[in-house]
Structure 1
């Protein structure tokens, strides 16, 4: 039966968080979900894995030398060598809430600042308890009680408590520029050392995963920070299994926390994060055995990586969230649904992912935009088995219906006589997306749309998207889409977006539709499975018939790793987590690894 209802509302627990991994059901009354979300939409790419720092350039020789000096077992210690997004030289900034801080780009956020609990995006409704060991919603969904782990200490020796959790949540809500998870609450209050009660202005079962993936910071340090949005946090204090020891512009080293609250963990001695200028240099280091864990697009991965050591070199790319062609709907030319439908029909998605992604990321061809196979049980009957297929003739007819005529130069002109031009932006480092845009240019030219491509520094591209200063771009639900509801709310919720000029982490296209908001609120405000199903089917219809965003492909969790030095990695046979080195779930992976016995 469709719907997200669950039999109860309590999170399962255990003294060791991973004891609850296999059936970590959150018996909340409605939304199950799962998976490390945090800024995963930003961090994806053939070139950079979505997120990056911008214009700085680091020479290939410098970066490869930085990771080749020390092996995974240097000096008898087990050191995991990691890279996430190639960024060039780093600035010393460990603020876990800034999308362009190194700890969010190269990796390491959750190794220092831990989440409350970790959803598994591959298994709707599955959670791993972390700093919170249990949680329970009130019957009306307006109150969430968190019961925290006891005996946890910050790396400066001070005790962790409910005050830290309450402070963190309240701080994020008061500083919208940091609230990428889109949390909405009235107040978070500590009730004793290990209990937090969160009050919401409306039923908020659907906020559970985004509360869970929030990184918690110490009140005794951050409470005196005047502006958290500009705080670099050069010497971070966390509860995590690792702590900062050394830093340079080429990378940083996180050593094992000797007082970590999970007894016996971690089993590895440290993490060495190395930055690269591009995926080319990162992948060269990977192929030469100088990295243990990465999250990049690797060209010809079977021959250039796996083939060099088939016994140990592995990868796992499960699809986790949809990626859309997102048009700025505040611009008149993109407000016509027939134009958006025409663009969708003009695209050959199979060709796009074959030429740009080498099929490592699968085409998203359902008109609902949901992620298959995990969202398949939630598809409305009328969309089961239905796929978007390229139909240039129908696309041309829709363009004509919208008032466009093809001129002698082959391009479409509107009633005002102006040529219809789509300017697509992305990071200059995202070589797969740039390739995809080249293919799109040819496909859309067939229906008269001129395409221009504007590569930008990653940080500039991201900032422009958030404030609405763009024409079109690939993008998807920021911070994760753990259920079909999350896909639609984080992509289309008009009540959560912001006016142009203000940063919007939700609904960057700024879709405004009363029926969409009504259905989203209907779903979020009930525990009735039939009403949830009705709302979800209505949202699928809006996606299919009005095409507010255009499905392109499903973003995967990029994860290349070697078992030569460490074992315990997640994979398709043991999917306890996605395997990306970036995001909240990476701490679950790191604490599951142990050195290979030799």
Structure 2
């Protein structure tokens, strides 16, 4: 029976599995931060983590907020934990069992008994129902497009009903919705926007201390699976990639995800540390693409987006910005390798060209009415083809990528003006649509299936007009044909590969034609970790979690597996 519809039974959370990267954190695989944090985890059971937060932290632990700094997985748990990088059974967290009815319209869930919120109140199935109803009532919180109706049968059982077969909603409901306490969140005036500064959850960690330059989580002594052996996690802010590399050299950071000089020789250059690289998230130039939804600028022209796509020399970008750790990307955004079987044969390019096609780029622009001005930059109706691209201060590999892309596009008659901003400003602009282009990566879903990425980033249900918060379809892409294909995929048994493929074909070809997210490369996400201080890290042979410090709830699965050296 397919893993999405089989019934699962209780196992310790320390067994293998992983879930999608956190809904609200798409920080680049190179994320870095500004600020004057830092500091060393001198205690043997404290892990110092560098996530890439740019600038001082602003206390917000609302797991449904685009500007949350922490919470999913560590403080607020999902029902189950799904492995997005490996095809493995989901690991029980707050849930213990689930099953579908024969028609795929009812999902029955059993939740764990004896679990307490960190304030001592009991957790029940009613909290799950409350959470599902809350995100239904507040569309900005509903990043998974959930559309079911939940009913608690008793304190440990609930049923989620759908109007149509909804097999693909299973991992969304089970693995990508963070369960919150009804007795607290029911009193919030607007849970979609309220900041949470004193979070109460069921997770393996609780908030211990907050300061703008660093904050600390402490092991939850009453965690249902036992207090973690990792006693504290301290998240610090640094000034950029170089500061991260310096911290690794000094041994003052235990885990970071991002580039370091000579990344292929980490064990030699940083004694006691190891590195792991996993290709998963797709790097793209996000465009505010829809004039109908309020976007303005040349990037609203599909021909401009296509011209940028063909003008890029991806081999050069990979070499100069990513130390050749990135790999090919499909313009249909199925993942090469993992999703090769479903990459559409109808695509013009199954994978994006690795070298520039200047003639194709020019032809696209000129056919759309753009002509070259005296300065070599195309123009149309008095408007120069000049675009700003937003990048977070300190993300040096992404900054380098933007600089390299800018040089390549200038030769093609397109001007790119980089704008470095703090992560907070960048994230706000991304959510509200106040940008032309920005560099980011698209994350995967709770299970290894491209449906989830499509449902997040290409569904009308997950976008909004400019000035309103989109979550996470930041490009403002809206296509009724894609929406219909997504709905059909939700209702199709995952084992019926032939029936699914026609919908994948439509989605991928429409994406390639419209290109609201301009494909760059599949990012090789590299983490450096302190192997001498802690054991239990994921490896290529045992990839039980996606090993990125900013990936949520993946990082929480790693935290509960780590042990201080010698234990």
Alignment correspondent of 1:94: 61
Give, in whole Å, the separation in 1 of the partners of 2:30 and 2:557: 25
1:468 and 2:428 matched? no
- 1:352–1:439 contact (8 Å) kept in structure 2: yes
Give, in whole Å, the separation in 1 of the partners of 2:301 and 2:212: 47
Give, in whole Å, the separation in 2 of the partners of 1:344 and 1:488: 19
Structure possessing the higher relative contact order (Cα contacts under 8 Å, 6 or more residues apart): 2
Give, in whole Å, the separation in 2 of the partners of 1:438 and 1:467: 25
- 1:184–1:200 contact (8 Å) kept in structure 2: no
Alignment correspondent of 1:327: 287
1:511 and 2:477 matched? yes
- 1:362–1:553 contact (8 Å) kept in structure 2: yes
Give, in whole Å, the separation in 2 of the partners of 1:237 and 1:567: 29
How far does the alpha carbon of each residue in 1:174-198 deviate from its partner, in whole angstroms, 9 at most, with x for none? 223333x333224322211111222
Alignment correspondent of 1:581: 549
- When residues 186 and 223 of structure 1 are mapped into structure 2, their CA distance, relative to the original with a 3 A threshold, is same
- When residues 8 and 502 of structure 1 are mapped into structure 2, their CA distance, relative to the original with a 3 A threshold, is closer
1:485 and 2:462 matched? no
Alignment correspondent of 1:443: 408
Q: Structure 2 residue aligned with 1:427, among 380, 383, 392?
A: 392
How far does the alpha carbon of each residue in 1:141-165 deviate from its partner, in whole angstroms, 9 at most, with x for none? 3332221112212222222111111
Alignment correspondent of 2:565: 596
Q: Structure 1 residue aligned with 2:22, among 38, 41, 60?
A: 38
How far does the alpha carbon of each residue in 1:206-237 deviate from its partner, in whole angstroms, 9 at most, with x for none? 23333212222222222222232343333322
1:378 and 2:345 matched? no
Query: Which stretch has the larger CA shift, 499-508 or 544-553?
Result: 544-553
Q: Structure 2 residue aligned with 1:357, among 322, 327, 332?
A: 322
Aligned-residue offset at 1:535 = 0.8
- When residues 214 and 513 of structure 1 are mapped into structure 2, their CA distance, relative to the original with a 3 A threshold, is closer
Give, in whole Å, the separation in 2 of the partners of 1:201 and 1:433: 43
Instruction: Give SS of 2:197's match.
Output: coil
Alignment correspondent of 1:162: 125
1:71 and 2:42 matched? yes
Aligned-residue offset at 1:114 = 1.6
- When residues 165 and 452 of structure 1 are mapped into structure 2, their CA distance, relative to the original with a 3 A threshold, is same
Alignment correspondent of 2:220: 257
Give, in whole Å, the separation in 1 of the partners of 2:184 and 2:3: 40
Q: Structure 2 residue aligned with 1:178, among 126, 129, 141?
A: 141
Query: Which stretch has the larger CA shift, 249-258 or 317-326?
Result: 249-258
How far does the alpha carbon of each residue in 1:257-284 deviate from its partner, in whole angstroms, 9 at most, with x for none? 2222114x52233223333233333332
Instruction: Give SS of 1:10's match.
Output: coil
Alignment correspondent of 2:262: 300
Instruction: Give SS of 1:316's match.
Output: strand
Task: Flag structure 1 segments of 5+ consecutive residues without an equivalent.
Answer: 23-33
Instruction: Give SS of 1:123's match.
Output: coil
How far does the alpha carbon of each residue in 1:101-129 deviate from its partner, in whole angstroms, 9 at most, with x for none? 332xxxx5422222211121112464222
Give, in whole Å, the separation in 1 of the partners of 2:3 and 2:114: 31
Give, in whole Å, the separation in 1 of the partners of 2:146 and 2:276: 34
Give, in whole Å, the separation in 2 of the partners of 1:597 and 1:545: 55
Give, in whole Å, the separation in 2 of the partners of 1:593 and 1:163: 32
Aligned-residue offset at 1:381 = 4.0
- 2:145–2:455 contact (8 Å) kept in structure 1: no
- When residues 202 and 279 of structure 1 are mapped into structure 2, their CA distance, relative to the original with a 3 A threshold, is farther
- When residues 419 and 81 of structure 1 are mapped into structure 2, their CA distance, relative to the original with a 3 A threshold, is closer
- 2:240–2:395 contact (8 Å) kept in structure 1: no
Name the Cα RMSD after superposition.
2.7
Query: Which stretch has the larger CA shift, 376-385 or 427-436?
Result: 376-385
- When residues 102 and 397 of structure 1 are mapped into structure 2, their CA distance, relative to the original with a 3 A threshold, is closer
1:554 and 2:550 matched? no
Aligned-residue offset at 1:576 = 0.9
- When residues 467 and 568 of structure 1 are mapped into structure 2, their CA distance, relative to the original with a 3 A threshold, is same
Alignment correspondent of 2:239: 277
Aligned-residue offset at 1:348 = 0.7
- 1:185–1:199 contact (8 Å) kept in structure 2: no
- 2:3–2:89 contact (8 Å) kept in structure 1: no
Give, in whole Å, the separation in 1 of the partners of 2:474 and 2:211: 34
How far does the alpha carbon of each residue in 1:407-427 deviate from its partner, in whole angstroms, 9 at most, with x for none? 23211122x243222221222
